[in-house]
Structure 1
Amino acid sequence: MFKKILIYFGYTLLFASIAAYLFFSTVLTKEHEAKQVCKSIKVSILDSADNRFVTKDEIIELLKVEGITPNESKLKHINQHFLECILNNRNAIKRTEVSYTREGVLRVDIRQRRPILRIETANGGFYMDETAYIFPLVKTYTSYVPVVSGNVPLTLVQGQRGMAKKNADWAEELKELGLYLYREEFWNSMIEQIYIDEKGILHLTPRIGEQEIIFGHLDNIDYKFKKLYVFYQEVIPAEGWEKYKTIDLQFGNQIVCKKRENKTNNNLNI
């Protein structure tokens, strides 16, 4: 019985000691944080190798505008959530995480939006990212992605950011085309421009050759590109890049080609 009492007392003392340690360490930590000054700012652009829409210097200048400078600002006065909201409001920033270390270093980790298409309209140019989020072009940096122009059925106002409100389904389909081009290395390097005519038909311009690729509507994307790939692998080596003026992918398992010389159609079964 006495042994059980000693064990119980020992456990009680142990838990009390742990609780006291946690309490006093928390108090000391809070006192330390209350006095801690921001000694330095460390900005990390996590995907700077892919895009350079924002720079570390720009972020530090923006923090200065908000009154945050090293060796002056106290960490307890820095509203991390507010800073994240301010930075996330910039065009090309997708997500920001603000934190600080016990040593007084304010950390700002930024991930940029990844454009897959550039859309040119009467109200200016925009990028579309992999989620179909649309944001304005950035003056200091250009991302070289396929350019969409012509009769774009999206109502975009100058400076607009966010998802398309009108014809959202079409925007989603366009995103799928952009993702396909982005993920497929061959087509990512091949397709340069996408023009939309008055009937909503897509016309693709390749970087190599002077053919007009009539893609049709935004359906059967994978199948159409597979047909076109077979054409490039089997027909172009035999006929050359300059023989055909147009390559039409709209007709089932056929590719309809128009020659330059006599405007004669060739129907190729793929």
Structure 2
Amino acid sequence: MNNKNKPLFIILKISCIVLLPILFLSFANHRNNNRKVQKLIITRQAPLDSIQYITNDAIETLLFSVKNAEEYALKELKMNLLEKKLDADPMVENADIYLTIDGVLKVIIKQREPIARIIDHNQFYYMDIQGVHMPLSKATSARVPIVRGLNEALWEDAYLILKHIYTDPFLKENIVEVINNKKNFYARLRGADFLVCIGNSEDISLKFNNLKAFYKKASKDHFLDKYTKVDLQYNNQVVCHRTPEPTAPTQE
């Protein structure tokens, strides 16, 4: 090879080494971006992974209102915009969306978690695990206690009580209703006729531990139907009001 052409040859060789991979990569990206979405997979994070407060159909409609997900080319997808759409839904706490290498669009959502259903005159809504108002779901109903008569000024007090109920397996299973009357809170238990006077949220853990101990013993001794009211407001004790015994008719 002529020595004069050697530098030119080296430049061409280096250019090919640098440019060819870029061209191949550009071609591959162009081809990949024109591919269609292969599949849409929606999953929900625990503990609400088996409950659909927002359905899969509603999620797909929210994300792709014009056409089905599989009709979109990968280059048409704006991940940040799609995530913002889901995050704005009142049933969703947060969402993550990403594409796999084989063109599968994966949506992972964390749904908001209701802990109580509030009945406020003609309005119905949830309180969620963060203590925030949450609208009712159009898809399903949460199995949570009903709350009546809640004074908004006592919202924080109610939240502390209701969150404790929700996170305790026994209380979550058995307390079906909470009532706010003035500054006091009351509860009704599944299958029991007596009213539980909670008072306020002060010492709530101790109060509910006392209630569980009382319930366990009274249930074992078959005394649950003997009481009309169980008061938890007194220090480290449960005060029970018994059902009056029927009096025998007097004979004339």
C-alpha deviations, 1:113-170, integer Å up to 9, x for none? 12111111125211122211221111320011111111x122xxxxxxxxxxxx4xx4
Matched, 1:84 2:83: yes
* Residue of structure 2 equivalent to 1:260: 243
Matches within 5 A, 1:1-270: 27-28=26-27, 30-47=29-46, 49-65=49-65, 67-150=66-149, 152-154=150-152, 167=153, 170-197=154-181, 199-238=182-221, 240-261=223-244
Q: Is the 8 A contact 1:51 1:112 kept in 2?
A: no
Cα distance, 1:28 vs structure 2: 4.7
1 CA distance for matches of 2:100 and 2:89?
Answer: 25
Which residue of the partner structure matches residue 4 of structure 1? Answer: none
TM-score when normalising by structure 1: 0.74
* Corresponding residue number in structure 2 for 1:161: none
Q: Percent identity?
A: 24
Match of 2:6 in 1: none
How far residue 53 of structure 1 moved from its aligned partner, in angstroms, is 0.8
Note the C-alpha offset of 1:193.
0.3
1:95 alignment partner, SS class: strand
Q: Decide whether aligned partners of structure 1 residues 143 and 70 sit closer, same or farther in structure 2, where only a CA change above 3 A counts.
A: closer
Unmatched segments (≥5 aa) in structure 1: 1-16, 155-166, 264-270
Do the aligned partners of 2:151 and 2:180 also contact (CA within 8 Å) in 1?
A: no
CA change 1:32–1:174 in 2 (3 A) is: farther
Distance 1:71 1:52 in 2: 22
CA distance in 1, matches of 2:186, 2:242: 17
> Structure 2: how far apart are the matches of 1:51 and 1:190?
21
Q: CA deviation at 1:246?
A: 0.5
Q: Distance in 1 between matches of 2:20 and 2:167?
A: 53
Q: Which amino acid aligns with 1:97?
A: D
Give deviations 1:28-60, integer Å, cap 9, x for gaps. 553234323223322223445442212222222
Secondary structure of residue in 2 paired with 1:242: helix
**TM-score w.r.t. length of structure 2:** 0.79
Partner secondary structure for residue 125 of structure 1: strand
* AA aligned opposite 1:113: R
Per-residue deviation, 1:63 = 3.1
Aligned amino acid, residue 204 of structure 1: A
Residues 20 and 120 (structure 1), Cα distance of their counterparts in 2 relative to 1, 3 Å cut: farther
Q: CA RMSD in A?
A: 2.7
Q: Specify the alignment match of 2:14 in structure 1.
A: none
State which structure, 1 or 2, has the greater radius of gyration over its C-alpha atoms: 2
| Cα displacement (A) at 1:188 | 1.2
Flag the 1:105–1:235 CA change in 2: closer, same or farther, 3 A.
closer
| Cα distance, 1:98–1:21 mapped onto 2, change above 3 Å | farther
Question: How many pairs does the alignment contain?
Answer: 229
CA distance, structure 2, for counterparts of residue 52 and residue 39 of structure 1: 24
Are the equivalent residues in 2 in contact too, given 1:214–1:247 (CA < 8 A)? Answer: yes
Any gaps of 5 or more consecutive residues in structure 2?
Answer: 1-16, 247-252
